[in-house]
Amino acid sequence: MRRLALLLCLPLCLLPLAESARAADWREALGAQIDRIDRATPGELGVYVKRLNGGETHRHGAERFWYLGSMTKVPIAIAVLQQVDAGKLKLSDSVELQDADRIDVSRVVRERTGRRYTVDALLDRMLKDSDNTAANMLIRTVGEDTVQRSATQALGTQGFKRITNFATMRRDVYAEIHPSARELPNTALVQVANAPLGPGRVQAVQRALKLKTGDLQARTIDDAYDRYYRHDINSATLDAYGAMLEKLARGELLQPASLQRLYAAMKLGTFTNHRLQAGLPRSEPFIHKTGTQYRRACHAGVLRPQDRGADAVVVAVCAAGMDEHKDVDAIFQQVGRAVAQTALRPEQSAAR
């Protein structure tokens, strides 16, 4: 009788071992592919992948800080929508464009001062169009301190330092060329941004500040950005960013209506065929955001975010020291394909 009971119990007893073996298998297979991709990469590559239904995680350089670029717009959006959830702000509230908001070449920056946008419209401009002026308007609306508190709550204190608005970011970079760049008005920042990256951008900063060549503390744009990146501002570890996305998918950061609003702005239901998504199955629901800056790029999101992330897969990838377009797009596509072949269910991956 005891032997019969043991035989009946055996399949159930082996289930945890089988699940553990499957988890080890996908992580080992993904790790082998990521190592191969990284060896062929001209710069540095970081990858974070976590299956939320089992908690298994693959990390590749995920503990170091990576410059996020426009991926900071996700925690900014979370901070805005938390104010909506708290009743302190409405999506229908309007925000007036001010000269101090203007930065870079974008749709909003070309509008007249005083033009009004709803918070709802600015969320789409910031996330769908990656408009930096729209982001500045939203940061000003809720306050930089509010954004910082929210981001710290979402990202933690170990793998994150500080988010700034996008005008401050530009001033900080150009301040590596000369400290007086921190006094540049937004109109000058827009003019400088019209100059091509490289010697032309340094010369544009020099002209805007009326400096002599001997006054410059960084002579190349590479040197200026390298110095700026070392401060780890607008940066995070992929461990921290992945943890934020997990909290988001599990419904820990926003109320259901705000969560769905954010998902829509993060292109749920839209196949962009870009970067990570170019390597993922077209049928897979994916909320995501990219980030791009000089010789830096990132892409992160949540596959299958529905049902509080019950079957979700969090993916975050960043690169440094390579062309932020030509090199990165193909490399991130390869990472997306590797995730599809390993971390997603085999039947889902085979459907591509």
Q: pLDDT tens digits, residue range 332-346?
A: 999 999 999 999 964
Alpha carbons 27 and 59: distance in angstroms, whole number: 9
Residue 209's H or E segment, with its range, is helix 199-209
pTM exceeds 0.75: yes
Domains recognised in the chain with CATH numbers: 32-163+233-350 (3.40.710.10), 166-229 (no CATH)
Torsion angles phi and psi, residue 267, rounded to 5:
70, 30
Q: Is the pLDDT of residue 234 over 90?
A: yes
- State mean pLDDT over 315-344: 96
Q: Is the pLDDT of residue 106 over 90?
A: no
Torsion angles phi and psi, residue 235, rounded to 5:
-130, 165
Determine which of 72-86, 95-109, 234-248, 253-267 has the lowest per-residue pLDDT on average: 95-109
Alpha carbons 128 and 82: distance in angstroms, whole number: 19
How confident is residue 94, by pLDDT bands cut at 50, 70 and 90?
A: very high
How confident is residue 110, by pLDDT bands cut at 50, 70 and 90?
A: confident
Strand, coil or helix: what is 107? coil
Q: Is the pLDDT of residue 270 over 90?
A: yes
Q: What does pLDDT average to over the chain?
A: 92
* Residue among 302, 349, 292, 330 nearest 72 (CA): 292
How confident is residue 109, by pLDDT bands cut at 50, 70 and 90?
A: confident
How confident is residue 271, by pLDDT bands cut at 50, 70 and 90?
A: very high
- The neighbour count for residue 256, using CB atoms within 10 Å, is 10
